[in-house]
Structure 1
Amino acid sequence: MTDSATTSHAVEPEVLKNTLAALLGAQAQAIDVVRGELTLVVRAADYLTVMRTLRDAPQACFEQLVDLCGMDYQTYGEGRWEGQRFAAVVHLLSVTHNHRVRVRVFCPEDDFPVLPSVTSLWASANWYEREAFDLYGIVFEGHDDLRRILTDYGFIGHPFRKDFPLSGHVEMRYDAERQRVIYEPVTIEPREITPRIIREDNYGGLH
Protein backbone atom coordinates (compact mmCIF):
# COMPACT_ATOMS: atom_id res chain seq x y z
CA MET A 1 0.00 0.00 0.00
CA THR A 2 1.43 3.36 -1.03
CA ASP A 3 0.78 6.78 0.45
CA SER A 4 -0.61 9.11 -2.17
CA ALA A 5 0.26 12.22 -0.16
CA THR A 6 2.96 14.37 -1.70
CA THR A 7 5.96 15.10 0.49
CA SER A 8 7.71 18.45 0.08
CA HIS A 9 11.46 17.90 0.11
CA ALA A 10 13.78 20.64 1.32
CA VAL A 11 15.37 22.70 -1.42
CA GLU A 12 19.15 22.44 -1.61
CA PRO A 13 20.80 25.68 -0.42
CA GLU A 14 22.82 26.08 -3.63
CA VAL A 15 19.64 25.79 -5.70
CA LEU A 16 17.89 28.37 -3.53
CA LYS A 17 20.95 30.62 -3.75
CA ASN A 18 20.70 30.67 -7.55
CA THR A 19 16.95 31.24 -7.40
CA LEU A 20 17.25 34.24 -5.07
CA ALA A 21 20.20 35.68 -6.98
CA ALA A 22 18.13 35.67 -10.17
CA LEU A 23 15.09 37.05 -8.33
CA LEU A 24 16.80 39.91 -6.49
CA GLY A 25 19.58 40.88 -8.88
CA ALA A 26 21.60 43.87 -7.66
CA GLN A 27 19.44 44.13 -4.52
CA ALA A 28 21.33 41.13 -3.16
CA GLN A 29 24.54 42.57 -1.75
CA ALA A 30 25.85 39.07 -0.99
CA ILE A 31 24.50 35.50 -0.98
CA ASP A 32 26.55 32.78 0.66
CA VAL A 33 26.08 29.18 1.71
CA VAL A 34 28.05 28.27 4.85
CA ARG A 35 27.62 24.96 6.67
CA GLY A 36 24.57 24.21 4.58
CA GLU A 37 22.78 27.45 5.51
CA LEU A 38 21.96 30.30 3.13
CA THR A 39 22.63 33.89 4.19
CA LEU A 40 21.47 36.89 2.18
CA VAL A 41 22.91 40.35 2.89
CA VAL A 42 20.96 43.40 1.73
CA ARG A 43 21.37 47.16 2.08
CA ALA A 44 19.14 49.08 4.45
CA ALA A 45 17.74 51.09 1.52
CA ASP A 46 16.62 47.85 -0.20
CA TYR A 47 15.60 45.97 2.93
CA LEU A 48 11.83 46.51 2.89
CA THR A 49 11.53 45.95 -0.85
CA VAL A 50 13.59 42.76 -0.71
CA MET A 51 11.60 41.40 2.21
CA ARG A 52 8.33 42.02 0.40
CA THR A 53 9.71 40.22 -2.66
CA LEU A 54 10.82 37.27 -0.52
CA ARG A 55 7.32 37.01 0.90
CA ASP A 56 5.30 37.49 -2.30
CA ALA A 57 7.36 36.10 -5.20
CA PRO A 58 6.08 32.60 -6.12
CA GLN A 59 9.59 31.13 -6.32
CA ALA A 60 10.41 32.42 -2.82
CA CYS A 61 7.11 32.42 -0.90
CA PHE A 62 8.54 32.99 2.59
CA GLU A 63 5.26 33.14 4.47
CA GLN A 64 6.75 33.02 7.96
CA LEU A 65 9.20 35.19 9.85
CA VAL A 66 10.43 32.85 12.57
CA ASP A 67 13.09 35.03 14.21
CA LEU A 68 14.64 38.49 14.20
CA CYS A 69 17.48 39.65 16.41
CA GLY A 70 19.93 42.51 16.74
CA MET A 71 23.71 42.20 16.41
CA ASP A 72 26.61 44.35 17.58
CA TYR A 73 29.81 43.80 15.56
CA GLN A 74 31.95 46.26 17.52
CA THR A 75 34.42 43.61 18.74
CA TYR A 76 33.80 41.05 15.98
CA GLY A 77 36.96 39.41 14.65
CA GLU A 78 39.00 40.70 17.58
CA GLY A 79 38.85 44.25 16.29
CA ARG A 80 39.43 43.45 12.62
CA TRP A 81 35.84 44.23 11.63
CA GLU A 82 35.64 47.38 9.47
CA GLY A 83 31.95 47.41 8.53
CA GLN A 84 28.93 48.98 10.18
CA ARG A 85 28.46 48.18 13.85
CA PHE A 86 24.77 47.24 14.17
CA ALA A 87 22.68 44.81 12.13
CA ALA A 88 19.39 42.95 12.23
CA VAL A 89 19.35 39.26 11.33
CA VAL A 90 16.08 37.73 10.18
CA HIS A 91 15.20 34.06 9.64
CA LEU A 92 12.46 33.32 7.11
CA LEU A 93 10.67 30.04 6.38
CA SER A 94 8.74 28.99 3.31
CA VAL A 95 6.20 26.33 4.23
CA THR A 96 5.16 26.10 0.59
CA HIS A 97 8.64 25.23 -0.72
CA ASN A 98 10.20 23.92 2.52
CA HIS A 99 13.23 26.21 2.43
CA ARG A 100 14.81 28.79 4.74
CA VAL A 101 16.95 31.88 4.41
CA ARG A 102 18.83 34.13 6.82
CA VAL A 103 18.70 37.84 5.90
CA ARG A 104 21.26 40.27 7.35
CA VAL A 105 20.90 44.03 7.05
CA PHE A 106 23.30 46.59 8.53
CA CYS A 107 22.20 49.94 9.96
CA PRO A 108 23.73 52.81 7.94
CA GLU A 109 24.65 54.86 11.04
CA ASP A 110 26.40 53.58 14.16
CA ASP A 111 25.49 56.55 16.38
CA PHE A 112 21.75 56.25 15.65
CA PRO A 113 20.98 52.82 14.14
CA VAL A 114 17.74 52.85 12.14
CA LEU A 115 16.06 50.26 9.91
CA PRO A 116 12.60 49.96 8.35
CA SER A 117 10.13 47.82 10.26
CA VAL A 118 8.79 44.67 8.60
CA THR A 119 5.73 44.41 10.86
CA SER A 120 3.57 45.38 7.89
CA LEU A 121 4.78 42.20 6.15
CA TRP A 122 4.90 39.77 9.08
CA ALA A 123 3.02 40.46 12.31
CA SER A 124 5.43 38.15 14.14
CA ALA A 125 8.17 40.79 13.76
CA ASN A 126 6.44 42.98 16.37
CA TRP A 127 7.98 41.63 19.57
CA TYR A 128 11.26 40.69 17.88
CA GLU A 129 11.83 44.28 16.74
CA ARG A 130 10.93 45.56 20.19
CA GLU A 131 13.53 43.19 21.65
CA ALA A 132 16.21 44.40 19.21
CA PHE A 133 15.34 47.99 20.12
CA ASP A 134 15.43 47.25 23.84
CA LEU A 135 18.71 45.32 23.88
CA TYR A 136 20.64 47.01 21.04
CA GLY A 137 18.97 50.39 20.52
CA ILE A 138 18.03 49.71 16.90
CA VAL A 139 15.08 51.92 15.90
CA PHE A 140 12.59 50.35 13.48
CA GLU A 141 10.81 53.04 11.50
CA GLY A 142 7.14 52.26 10.93
CA HIS A 143 6.73 50.10 14.04
CA ASP A 144 3.45 51.05 15.73
CA ASP A 145 4.53 50.36 19.32
CA LEU A 146 8.32 50.47 19.61
CA ARG A 147 9.00 50.35 23.36
CA ARG A 148 11.05 48.21 25.71
CA ILE A 149 9.91 44.64 26.17
CA LEU A 150 12.45 42.93 28.48
CA THR A 151 13.95 45.70 30.59
CA ASP A 152 12.09 48.21 32.76
CA TYR A 153 10.66 51.30 31.05
CA GLY A 154 13.06 53.48 33.07
CA PHE A 155 16.09 51.41 32.11
CA ILE A 156 19.08 53.41 30.87
CA GLY A 157 21.02 52.15 27.85
CA HIS A 158 20.88 48.94 25.85
CA PRO A 159 22.37 45.96 27.72
CA PHE A 160 23.46 43.79 24.76
CA ARG A 161 25.72 46.44 23.30
CA LYS A 162 29.37 45.47 23.58
CA ASP A 163 30.27 48.66 25.43
CA PHE A 164 27.51 48.35 28.05
CA PRO A 165 29.06 47.91 31.54
CA LEU A 166 28.54 44.52 33.16
CA SER A 167 27.31 46.16 36.36
CA GLY A 168 24.86 48.46 34.54
CA HIS A 169 24.29 52.16 35.18
CA VAL A 170 21.56 52.25 37.83
CA GLU A 171 19.99 49.84 40.30
CA MET A 172 16.32 49.61 41.20
CA ARG A 173 14.97 48.91 44.67
CA TYR A 174 11.83 49.40 46.71
CA ASP A 175 12.10 52.22 49.27
CA ALA A 176 9.90 51.44 52.30
CA GLU A 177 9.87 55.04 53.51
CA ARG A 178 8.81 56.48 50.17
CA GLN A 179 6.64 53.41 49.47
CA ARG A 180 7.70 53.25 45.85
CA VAL A 181 10.38 51.89 43.55
CA ILE A 182 13.40 54.17 43.20
CA TYR A 183 16.46 54.24 40.96
CA GLU A 184 19.96 54.90 42.27
CA PRO A 185 23.47 54.84 40.79
CA VAL A 186 25.06 51.41 40.90
CA THR A 187 26.91 50.86 44.18
CA ILE A 188 28.56 47.54 43.29
CA GLU A 189 32.32 47.78 43.70
CA PRO A 190 34.16 46.29 40.71
CA ARG A 191 36.26 43.31 41.69
CA GLU A 192 38.48 40.78 40.05
CA ILE A 193 37.69 37.14 40.77
CA THR A 194 40.72 34.87 40.79
CA PRO A 195 39.90 31.19 40.37
CA ARG A 196 41.18 28.88 43.08
CA ILE A 197 43.76 26.42 41.80
CA ILE A 198 44.13 23.11 43.61
CA ARG A 199 47.48 21.39 43.33
CA GLU A 200 47.73 18.15 45.28
CA ASP A 201 49.80 15.10 44.72
CA ASN A 202 47.76 12.21 43.35
CA TYR A 203 44.67 14.47 43.05
CA GLY A 204 41.78 12.45 41.68
CA GLY A 205 43.61 9.19 42.09
CA LEU A 206 46.08 9.92 39.31
CA HIS A 207 49.68 8.74 39.72
Structure 2
Amino acid sequence: MSTIDALLDEAGRTFADEGGIHLADQPAPLYRLLVLSVLLSRRVQAQLGTRAARELVGAGFGTPERMRDASWEDVVATLGRAKYTGTEQTTTALQEGARLVLDEWGGDLRRMRKAADGDPDKLREFLTAVPRLGPVGADIFLREVQAVWPEFRPHLDARALAGAGELGLPTDPATLAEQVSGDDLARLAAALVRADRDGDVREQVSG
Protein backbone atom coordinates (compact mmCIF):
# COMPACT_ATOMS: atom_id res chain seq x y z
CA MET A 1 0.00 0.00 0.00
CA SER A 2 1.34 3.44 -0.92
CA THR A 3 1.86 6.18 1.65
CA ILE A 4 -1.05 8.13 0.14
CA ASP A 5 -3.40 5.13 0.37
CA ALA A 6 -2.33 4.44 3.95
CA LEU A 7 -2.79 8.09 4.83
CA LEU A 8 -6.31 8.22 3.40
CA ASP A 9 -7.22 4.99 5.18
CA GLU A 10 -5.82 6.15 8.51
CA ALA A 11 -6.69 9.83 8.60
CA GLY A 12 -8.70 10.72 5.51
CA ARG A 13 -11.89 11.86 7.20
CA THR A 14 -12.71 15.46 6.45
CA PHE A 15 -13.15 17.80 9.39
CA ALA A 16 -16.64 18.59 8.10
CA ASP A 17 -17.57 14.92 8.38
CA GLU A 18 -16.02 14.74 11.84
CA GLY A 19 -18.15 17.76 12.76
CA GLY A 20 -21.33 16.00 11.66
CA ILE A 21 -21.68 18.06 8.47
CA HIS A 22 -22.90 16.22 5.38
CA LEU A 23 -21.26 18.67 3.05
CA ALA A 24 -23.14 19.58 -0.11
CA ASP A 25 -23.50 22.66 -2.28
CA GLN A 26 -26.53 23.78 -0.29
CA PRO A 27 -27.05 26.72 2.08
CA ALA A 28 -27.27 24.92 5.43
CA PRO A 29 -24.21 22.63 5.15
CA LEU A 30 -22.11 25.42 3.65
CA TYR A 31 -23.02 27.70 6.55
CA ARG A 32 -22.17 24.94 9.01
CA LEU A 33 -18.77 24.57 7.36
CA LEU A 34 -18.26 28.32 7.80
CA VAL A 35 -19.06 27.99 11.52
CA LEU A 36 -16.71 25.02 11.82
CA SER A 37 -13.97 27.06 10.15
CA VAL A 38 -14.45 29.82 12.73
CA LEU A 39 -14.31 27.28 15.56
CA LEU A 40 -11.19 25.57 14.21
CA SER A 41 -9.36 28.79 13.43
CA ARG A 42 -8.69 29.35 17.13
CA ARG A 43 -5.85 27.48 18.77
CA VAL A 44 -7.95 24.64 20.09
CA GLN A 45 -7.77 20.90 19.57
CA ALA A 46 -9.55 19.92 16.40
CA GLN A 47 -11.74 17.53 18.40
CA LEU A 48 -13.04 20.45 20.47
CA GLY A 49 -13.94 22.42 17.36
CA THR A 50 -15.71 19.54 15.64
CA ARG A 51 -17.53 18.63 18.86
CA ALA A 52 -18.67 22.23 19.27
CA ALA A 53 -19.97 22.22 15.69
CA ARG A 54 -21.98 19.08 16.43
CA GLU A 55 -23.40 20.63 19.60
CA LEU A 56 -24.46 23.80 17.80
CA VAL A 57 -26.27 21.89 15.07
CA GLY A 58 -27.85 19.58 17.63
CA ALA A 59 -29.13 22.60 19.55
CA GLY A 60 -30.80 23.96 16.41
CA PHE A 61 -28.26 26.66 15.51
CA GLY A 62 -27.26 25.20 12.15
CA THR A 63 -28.54 28.00 9.90
CA PRO A 64 -27.65 31.70 9.90
CA GLU A 65 -31.22 32.62 10.77
CA ARG A 66 -31.25 30.32 13.79
CA MET A 67 -27.83 31.53 14.92
CA ARG A 68 -28.74 35.18 14.54
CA ASP A 69 -32.02 34.78 16.42
CA ALA A 70 -30.72 32.50 19.17
CA SER A 71 -30.36 33.67 22.73
CA TRP A 72 -26.73 34.67 23.29
CA GLU A 73 -26.81 32.79 26.59
CA ASP A 74 -28.05 29.62 24.88
CA VAL A 75 -25.21 29.65 22.36
CA VAL A 76 -22.67 30.24 25.16
CA ALA A 77 -24.13 27.29 27.07
CA THR A 78 -24.02 25.08 23.97
CA LEU A 79 -20.34 25.82 23.36
CA GLY A 80 -19.71 25.23 27.05
CA ARG A 81 -21.21 21.74 26.83
CA ALA A 82 -18.63 20.96 24.16
CA LYS A 83 -15.86 22.19 26.53
CA TYR A 84 -14.98 24.84 23.94
CA THR A 85 -12.93 27.72 25.33
CA GLY A 86 -13.59 31.42 24.80
CA THR A 87 -17.32 30.76 24.60
CA GLU A 88 -18.51 34.35 25.10
CA GLN A 89 -16.29 35.96 22.45
CA THR A 90 -16.95 33.10 20.05
CA THR A 91 -20.71 33.38 20.51
CA THR A 92 -20.62 37.09 19.74
CA ALA A 93 -18.52 36.42 16.63
CA LEU A 94 -20.81 33.63 15.42
CA GLN A 95 -23.92 35.76 15.80
CA GLU A 96 -22.27 38.72 14.08
CA GLY A 97 -21.10 36.36 11.34
CA ALA A 98 -24.63 35.01 10.88
CA ARG A 99 -25.89 38.56 10.39
CA LEU A 100 -23.15 39.20 7.83
CA VAL A 101 -24.02 36.04 5.90
CA LEU A 102 -27.67 37.08 5.84
CA ASP A 103 -27.05 40.73 4.97
CA GLU A 104 -24.28 40.25 2.39
CA TRP A 105 -25.16 36.88 0.89
CA GLY A 106 -28.86 36.38 1.58
CA GLY A 107 -28.03 33.46 3.85
CA ASP A 108 -26.66 31.45 0.93
CA LEU A 109 -22.89 31.04 0.50
CA ARG A 110 -23.42 29.82 -3.04
CA ARG A 111 -23.75 33.53 -3.84
CA MET A 112 -20.25 33.99 -2.39
CA ARG A 113 -19.07 31.19 -4.65
CA LYS A 114 -20.60 32.87 -7.69
CA ALA A 115 -19.07 36.24 -6.78
CA ALA A 116 -15.61 34.68 -6.34
CA ASP A 117 -15.88 33.18 -9.84
CA GLY A 118 -13.21 30.55 -9.23
CA ASP A 119 -10.68 33.01 -7.77
CA PRO A 120 -9.40 31.67 -4.42
CA ASP A 121 -7.98 35.04 -3.43
CA LYS A 122 -11.36 36.67 -3.96
CA LEU A 123 -13.07 33.93 -1.98
CA ARG A 124 -10.49 34.36 0.80
CA GLU A 125 -11.25 38.09 0.85
CA PHE A 126 -14.96 37.40 1.33
CA LEU A 127 -14.30 34.78 4.02
CA THR A 128 -11.95 36.92 6.09
CA ALA A 129 -14.68 39.57 6.37
CA VAL A 130 -16.46 37.10 8.69
CA PRO A 131 -15.71 37.88 12.37
CA ARG A 132 -12.89 35.77 13.83
CA LEU A 133 -12.28 34.06 10.49
CA GLY A 134 -8.76 35.06 9.56
CA PRO A 135 -6.38 33.54 7.00
CA VAL A 136 -6.17 30.26 8.94
CA GLY A 137 -9.95 29.89 8.98
CA ALA A 138 -10.19 30.80 5.30
CA ASP A 139 -7.71 28.03 4.49
CA ILE A 140 -9.76 25.56 6.53
CA PHE A 141 -12.89 26.49 4.60
CA LEU A 142 -11.10 26.24 1.25
CA ARG A 143 -9.51 22.88 2.10
CA GLU A 144 -12.91 21.42 2.92
CA VAL A 145 -15.17 23.15 0.39
CA GLN A 146 -13.09 21.91 -2.55
CA ALA A 147 -15.02 18.67 -2.10
CA VAL A 148 -18.13 20.40 -3.51
CA TRP A 149 -16.65 23.49 -5.22
CA PRO A 150 -14.21 21.86 -7.65
CA GLU A 151 -13.10 25.13 -9.24
CA PHE A 152 -11.03 25.75 -6.09
CA ARG A 153 -9.03 22.53 -6.46
CA PRO A 154 -6.37 21.86 -5.52
CA HIS A 155 -6.25 23.71 -2.22
CA LEU A 156 -3.35 22.32 -0.22
CA ASP A 157 -2.22 25.04 2.17
CA ALA A 158 0.97 25.43 4.19
CA ARG A 159 -0.23 23.15 6.98
CA ALA A 160 -1.20 20.36 4.59
CA LEU A 161 2.10 20.73 2.74
CA ALA A 162 3.99 20.56 6.03
CA GLY A 163 2.32 17.22 6.68
CA ALA A 164 3.33 16.05 3.22
CA GLY A 165 6.93 17.01 3.95
CA GLU A 166 6.88 15.05 7.21
CA LEU A 167 5.87 11.95 5.23
CA GLY A 168 8.33 12.43 2.40
CA LEU A 169 5.59 13.27 -0.09
CA PRO A 170 5.79 16.01 -2.74
CA THR A 171 5.37 19.48 -1.30
CA ASP A 172 4.37 21.12 -4.57
CA PRO A 173 0.55 21.43 -4.51
CA ALA A 174 0.02 20.49 -8.15
CA THR A 175 2.34 17.48 -7.96
CA LEU A 176 0.79 16.32 -4.71
CA ALA A 177 -2.74 16.73 -6.09
CA GLU A 178 -1.87 14.41 -8.98
CA GLN A 179 -1.54 11.54 -6.48
CA VAL A 180 -5.32 11.31 -5.92
CA SER A 181 -8.58 11.89 -7.76
CA GLY A 182 -10.11 15.34 -7.46
CA ASP A 183 -12.92 13.97 -5.31
CA ASP A 184 -10.35 12.81 -2.73
CA LEU A 185 -8.49 16.12 -2.43
CA ALA A 186 -10.43 17.37 0.59
CA ARG A 187 -9.83 14.05 2.36
CA LEU A 188 -6.14 14.18 1.46
CA ALA A 189 -5.83 17.74 2.75
CA ALA A 190 -7.46 16.81 6.07
CA ALA A 191 -5.24 13.74 6.42
CA LEU A 192 -2.09 15.77 5.75
CA VAL A 193 -3.08 18.31 8.39
CA ARG A 194 -3.53 15.48 10.89
CA ALA A 195 -0.14 14.09 9.90
CA ASP A 196 1.42 17.48 10.54
CA ARG A 197 -0.16 17.69 13.99
CA ASP A 198 0.00 14.12 15.20
CA GLY A 199 3.12 11.98 15.40
CA ASP A 200 0.99 8.88 15.92
CA VAL A 201 -0.63 9.39 12.51
CA ARG A 202 2.78 9.76 10.90
CA GLU A 203 4.05 6.61 12.60
CA GLN A 204 1.02 4.54 11.60
CA VAL A 205 1.19 5.71 7.99
CA SER A 206 4.95 5.30 7.66
CA GLY A 207 5.17 2.07 9.63
Normalised by the length of structure 1, the TM-score is 0.24
Structure having the larger proportion of residues in strand = 1
Which one has a bigger Cα radius of gyration? 1
Greater relative CO (CA pairs within 8 A, separation 6+) = 2
Q: TM-score, normalised by structure 2?
A: 0.24
- Structure 1 or 2: more helix by fraction: 2
